[in-house]
């Protein structure tokens, strides 16, 4: 899929090439990174059917910073999980860089996530037994040694960028919520994903750390990474370039 | 004397720009020291007893065959068969205990780590790799237990043999406990084989369960 990014972690070429191609063809119309058509997600709980996502269709361009804003239960998390291939749609289609997500096997989806998608969760989800640096590296633990070394250098660079250079050998339990979330962001960025998905990333940190985290997202977005961030908070949403409002499983 | 094997390994593991699945398993085993120690020592005792009984059996066999005159040969063969039968029963019991102990430990380990495993899958670890994690962890436990159990078993067998010999009399009246022991290469190899088989059997179900975990479900808030 994205062979260059996979084999050479210290290289952004795959991404740049895509952008250049996009710019080369038509200066204004870029190839969309995400194309969602008639997407629906229905959960079956016992006899009940819960429609988490009505029919949604939208396009997201490369390099956008989108806020999914909506009340609790609006379907934000469901949409992010579908976009990251963690859930299968009930109907409709998702294309990312032209690749159809449905019809991919579990393993293909896992590989797709590793190469293209970074996840940031509300509850950080760091591995408690690992240090900050090891947490950033964890998606690479099955990789051959020769590739791991370059990724290690990049992990150090990312943690430094997150202002955590002094905390690299600390365990999550020794870090504050804001620091843990910054480790989680570094982990999400390690494989240079095209797409960063964040679900209420500031939901469990104090407002100062929340602002710091949003500034980091903003900076990352300027380097070309597309970000989709779910929040119910309009102040957090205002960091984005575009706000998609959600209500009852629909985009308004 | 306090000898902490895990911290010894930690000291002797050089930390370079490396992070592999070995480190991951090492961390999770050392995090739950008590559980790891309990499981490992339980299995080690099983393996030690296996080695002890087999060595005693071999020793006894040798001892009897050395003293049997040709007219008693038939009775000797009968006894020898009986002994082998009992050893096989014991071995089966040990294997079952081993499998249950390791499987139990692995099941606790994965149910404690649902969220962790879901996170790993969300960030790109495949189901096959999750399965590997569980197998590697089980093999690490049985491997360590095999090493400790073998040393312990050899020590026990040698101790029995020593007591028997130093009793001087050739063993009359000393009973089962102080019997001649003969540690054979075959016994050790059988113990290694049993450890590997038990570790693998024990990991099968936990590995399948861990691998079939749906990341979205595992990540749902507590
Ligand atoms: N696994 C599931 N099984 C059943 N219903 C579900 C499941 N996941 C989500 N839902 C339902 O789908 C709807 C949308 O949920 P979702 O978690 O996407 O909302 P959200 O916008 O992320 O809300 P919040 O702000 O509280 O996180 C809700 O009504 C929820 O109860
Ligand atoms: Mg949510």
Residue A18 included in any domain: no
What was the pLDDT predicted at B59? Answer: 85
What was the pLDDT predicted at B216? Answer: 85
User: Does residue A145 have a pLDDT over 90?
Assistant: no
Ligand 2 centroid to Cα of residue A40, in Å, is 17
- Cβ of A142 within 8 Å of Cβ of B129? The answer is yes
Cβ-defined contacts of B213-217 (< 8 Å, 24+):
B213/B114, B213/B117, B213/B118, B213/B121, B213/B130, B214/B118, B215/A86, B215/B118, B215/B119, B215/B121, B215/B122, B216/A81, B216/A86, B216/A87, B216/B118, B217/B118
Task: Enumerate the residues of chain A whose CB falls inside 8 A of the CB of residue B124.
Answer: 110-111, 113-115, 139, 191
Q: Mean pLDDT over residues A165-179, rounded?
A: 94
| Residue ID of nearest Cα to ligand 1 atom 7 | A43
Q: What is the pLDDT of residues B116-125, one digit of tens each?
A: 999 999 999 9
What was the pLDDT predicted at B13? Answer: 55
What was the pLDDT predicted at B65? Answer: 76
- Cβ of A111 within 8 Å of Cβ of B129? The answer is no
Average pLDDT in chain B: 84
Ligand 2 centroid to Cα of residue A197, in Å, is 12
What was the pLDDT predicted at B24? Answer: 93
B54 in Cβ contact with B188 (< 8 Å): no
Q: What is the DSSP string of chain B?
A: ----HHHHHHHTS---S---HHHHHHHHHHHTHHHHHHHHHHHHHHHHHHHHHHHHHHHHHHHHHHH--GGGHHHHHHHHHHHHHHHHHHHHHHHHHHHHHHHHHHHHHHHHTHHHHHHHHHTT--HHHHHHHHHHHHHHHHHHHHHHHHHHHHHHHHHHHHHHHHT-S-STTT-SSS------HHHHHHHHHHHHHHHHHHHHHHHHHHHT--HHHHHS--
What was the pLDDT predicted at B132? Answer: 95
Residue A245 included in any domain: yes
CATH number at residue A145: 3.40.50.300
- The neighbour count for residue B167, using CB atoms within 10 Å, is 13
What was the pLDDT predicted at B3? Answer: 52
Between the ranges A224-228, B59-63, B110-114, where is the mean pLDDT highest? A224-228
User: Does residue A178 have a pLDDT over 60?
Assistant: yes
Residue A26 included in any domain: no
Closest residue to A111, CB basis, from B124, B216, B221: B124
Number of separate domains in chain A: 1
What was the pLDDT predicted at B77? Answer: 79
Residue A13 included in any domain: no
CA A35 to chain centre: 16
Residue A161 included in any domain: yes
Nearest partner of B26 among B141, B159, B163, judged by Cα: B141
- From the candidates A52, A81, A110, A193, which should be mutated to test the interface with B, based on the most B CB atoms within 10 A? A110
A75: left (phi over 0), alpha (psi -120 to 50) or beta: left
CB pairs under 8 A between A and B: 92
Question: Which has more confidence, A7 or B90?
Answer: B90
What was the pLDDT predicted at B83? Answer: 82
Residue A223 included in any domain: yes
What was the pLDDT predicted at B11? Answer: 56
What was the pLDDT predicted at A1? Answer: 44
Please report which confidence band the pLDDT of residue B9 belongs to, taking 50, 70 and 90 as the band edges: low
What was the pLDDT predicted at A165? Answer: 92
Closest residue to A113, CB basis, from B21, B31, B122: B122
What was the pLDDT predicted at A117? Answer: 95
ipTM for the predicted complex:
0.85
B153 in Cβ contact with B191 (< 8 Å): yes
Please report which confidence band the pLDDT of residue B31 belongs to, taking 50, 70 and 90 as the band edges: confident
Domain extent, residue A52, equals: 34-251
Residue A7 included in any domain: no
CA distances for A50 relative to A53, A77, A247, B85, angstroms = 9, 14, 14, 61
User: Does residue B38 have a pLDDT over 80?
Assistant: yes
Residue A129 included in any domain: yes
Least confident of A30-34, B10-14, B136-140, B153-157: B10-14
Q: Which of A54, A77, A121, A234 to mutate to test the pocket of ligand 1 (most atoms within 8 A of CB)?
A: A77
Q: What is the pLDDT of residues B192-208, one digit of tens each?
A: 999 999 999 999 999 99
């Amino acid at each position: 899929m994205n062979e260059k990014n996979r084999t050479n972690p210290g290289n952004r070429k795959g991404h740049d090439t895509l952008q250049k191609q996009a710019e080369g063809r038509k200066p204004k119309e870029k190839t969309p990174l995400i194309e969602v058509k008639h997407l629906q997600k229905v959960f079956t709980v016992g006899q009940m059917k819960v429609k988490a996502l009505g029919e949604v269709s939208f396009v997201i361009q490369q390099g956008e910073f989108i806020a999914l804003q909506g009340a609790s239960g609006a379907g934000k998390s469901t949409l992010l999980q579908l976009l990251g291939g963690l859930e299968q749609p009930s109907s409709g289609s998702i294309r990312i860089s032209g690749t159809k997500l449905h019809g991919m096997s579990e393993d293909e989806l896992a590989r797709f996530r590793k190469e293209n998608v970074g996840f940031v969760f509300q509850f950080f989800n760091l591995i408690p037994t690992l240090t900050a640096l090891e947490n950033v590296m964890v998606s690479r633990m099955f990789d051959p040694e020769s590739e791991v070394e370059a990724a290690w250098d990049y992990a150090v660079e990312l943690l430094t960028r997150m202002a955590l250079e002094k905390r690299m050998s600390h365990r999550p339990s020794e870090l504050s919520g804001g620091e843990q979330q910054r480790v989680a962001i570094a982990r999400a960025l390690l494989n240079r994903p095209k797409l960063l998905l964040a679900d209420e990333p500031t939901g469990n940190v104090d407002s100062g750390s929340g602002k710091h985290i949003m500034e980091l997202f903003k900076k990352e977005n300027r380097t070309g990474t597309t970000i989709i961030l779910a929040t119910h908070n309009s102040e957090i949403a205002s960091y984005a370039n575009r706000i998609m409002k959600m209500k009852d499983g629909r985009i308004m | 004397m306090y000898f902490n094997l895990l911290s010894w390994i930690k000291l002797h593991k050089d930390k370079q720009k490396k992070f592999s699945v070995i480190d991951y398993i090492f961390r999770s085993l050392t995090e739950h020291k008590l559980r790891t120690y309990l499981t490992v020592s339980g299995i080690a005792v099983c393996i030690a007893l296996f080695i002890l009984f087999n060595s005693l059996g071999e020793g006894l066999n040798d001892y009897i065959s050395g003293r049997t005159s040709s007219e008693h040969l038939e009775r000797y063969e009968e006894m020898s068969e009986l002994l082998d039968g009992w050893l096989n029963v014991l071995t089966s019991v040990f294997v079952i205990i081993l499998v249950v102990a390791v499987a139990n430990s692995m099941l606790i380990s994965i149910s404690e780590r649902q969220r962790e495993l879901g996170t790993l899958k969300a960030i790109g670890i495949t189901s096959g790799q999750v399965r590997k994690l569980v197998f590697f962890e089980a093999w690490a436990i049985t491997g360590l237990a095999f090493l400790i159990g073998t040393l312990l078993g050899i020590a026990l067998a040698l101790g029995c043999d020593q007591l028997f010999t130093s009793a001087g009399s050739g063993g009359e009246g000393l009973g089962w406990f102080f019997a001649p022991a003969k540690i054979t290469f075959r016994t050790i190899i059988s113990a290694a084989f049993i450890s590997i088989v038990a570790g693998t059997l024990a990991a099968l179900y936990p590995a399948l369960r861990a691998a079939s975990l749906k990341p979205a479900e595992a990540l749902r808030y507590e």
